[in-house]
Structure 1
Amino acid sequence: MPSIVDRPAQRYVAERATLGIPEFPRIADRLPPLIGGVAAQGVVAGAPFFRYRVIHPGTRFTVEAGVPIEGGFTPEEPAFLGELPAGRYVLDTYVGAPDGLAAATESVLAWGAAEGVTWDRREGPDGDEWGCRLEVLRTNPREVPDPTRWVTDLLFRIAG
């Protein structure tokens, strides 16, 4: 069952791509080098995430693969620094393989519609532009190789 949580602003380092679902490994594969780069500079990093910036018509989206950081960090291009905005978020935790995330996301959106939630999103020229929509990866696949046991927090920022 989703809940509403308050989150502070959080700095991060990321890379961005516009792609379809079959191409998703291209951006997902950027997480290990980002984590390694942060660790090499002795910077504290949080759980990696995917931030969905634009949901394009069809099955394409603009997404960032990111890592929260504390402290100073200078990324090498194409990586960049950003900040997740503070605010109220709907949080739901999904346990399972990545192929179930679309259904889990639809469930959260349906819950929000039933509860009268107004999302931090707007219609843009290329599709739905989200203020902050995250999938936070709570499980390290190297430690838990069974994808049916992976834990992912879904976080959607509420408008206002």
Structure 2
Amino acid sequence: MPQIVEFPERPYIGIRKTITMTSFGLVGDRIAEMIGWLAERGHTPAGAPFFRYDSIDLPQDRLVVEAGVPVTAPVAGEGELHAGTLPAGRFVTESHHGHPDQLSGVIESVLTWAAEQGLTWDMTEKGGTEHWGCRLELYRTDPRVEPDLNKWDIDLQFRLA
């Protein structure tokens, strides 16, 4: 069952790309690089790496997505890496245990639950594209420890208006 949780601002380092569903690796494959980049500079992640969906246009198969790694304090970016801050606010959260390919059903149930509760997302729609204030998938399982995607733990956090 989804819950509503209040989160403070959270700094991160990230990489943003415009991708399709089949080119997700352009951002996803960069997470290990970001963690290594932080380690080289004496920083450790302050939580699970995530994908932040800035805009979603599924009919056109066009997404603007960031891969990010939270940090304890702001870190200056370099090259394609940029510093960012996840906004504070109330978020609908839900956890999923299983393959990331199963997330679409979990997302649908979260969206349906929120509609039934009369909740409004921090999202605007323009020309068929959803523009999200903060929509996250946090990957709590380290693939080096657990390579079986069917055993992964993933949290969803969608910001409310």
TM-score normalised by structure 1 residue count: 0.95
In the alignment, what sits opposite 1:22? 22
Alignment: residue pair count: 159
Structure 1: which 5+ runs fail to align?
none
- Runs of 4 or more, structure 1, over 6 Å off, are none
In the alignment, what sits opposite 1:3? 3
Identity of aligned residues (%): 45
Q: After superposition, where does 1:69-88 map in structure 2 within 5 Å?
A: 69-88=71-90
Q: 1:44 and 1:149, CA in 2 relative to 1: closer, same or farther beyond 3 A?
A: same
Q: Distance in 2 between matches of 1:73 and 1:52?
A: 21
In the alignment, what sits opposite 1:148? 150
User: Contact conserved, 2:11 with 2:74, CA < 8 A, in 1?
Assistant: no
- Candidates 94, 97, 100, aligned match of 1:98: 100
User: How far off its partner does 1:2 sit?
Assistant: 0.4
User: Contact conserved, 1:43 with 1:72, CA < 8 A, in 2?
Assistant: no
User: How far off its partner does 1:77 sit?
Assistant: 1.1
In the alignment, what sits opposite 1:44? 44
Q: 1:63 and 1:71, CA in 2 relative to 1: closer, same or farther beyond 3 A?
A: same
User: How far off its partner does 1:56 sit?
Assistant: 1.4
TM-score normalised by structure 2 residue count: 0.94
User: How far off its partner does 1:25 sit?
Assistant: 1.2
The one-character-per-residue Cα deviations of 1:74-128 (angstroms, maximum 9, x if unpaired) are 3221110111000000000011111111121111111111111100001235711
- Calculate the aligned-residue CA RMSD, in Å: 1.2
In the alignment, what sits opposite 1:55? 56
